[in-house]
Structure 1
């Protein structure tokens, strides 16, 4: 009894590609066509076709060539303010809603948002680290090019031929 796995359903591939991009975005990772291809098991042409459709539909936006992210459909931001009163109470205003919070409520709300704040800080740190690494890499490549140019000038001044200029008989 050798059972073959059911063939993949083409109608779900687009949602698989979108969900993969969404998962990468939510994890703070960059969604490139190669990463999406690897994670979905689809070919480049299938991934490119679905990404192109989602870009046209406005579900995705291109961040850089070959890099995309989901377009988030969030409600508009509201005005938020927090006023701490002299007696330890606080007034939290979000849009037209106002909450009177005692110190215990403030601590509980703070602890509930702590995970989100730490996650946001981690994502920001990762982005800053990636930017710093890219900048260091650019400097390293430029320094290597300058060093090669300097070595070429010194070699020519000293009359030392390049290995490609040496003829063997």
Structure 2
């Protein structure tokens, strides 16, 4: 073997080792970056879950407070009239979604029990409704039998001439 071919062989072997080392360094860097990303995602997930649990506990406490008795927290979002509390949402949704929203707060869509309550509600929504398409859902449905209207508590709609 000549000196030249010996040197070329060494150079090739040296460059092969260098390529392997570069490959290992790149793989090591990718592994380190992956571990950092996994750690960061796990850390954020841990704190997000912790915050979610805290929010769930706060929501449950608010539901208990709002459904049991009037409280300062309820008074800010809910309007009291007589023995009932009302929440007027301007969020546009279907009747079912509106009802589900109410249920999340331990409430239900309104059942109108008197002419006085109906006047209160009409006056209240009149001030909130600014566009022709603005609407509010009440707890009246004919979803079980077409044309047979019942309140969400299952009681039938009474035909009243006074209101």
On whether the aligned pair clears a TM of 0.5, the verdict is: no
Query: More relative contact order in 1 or in 2 (CA 8 Å, sep 6+)?
Result: 2
TM-score by length of 1: 0.29
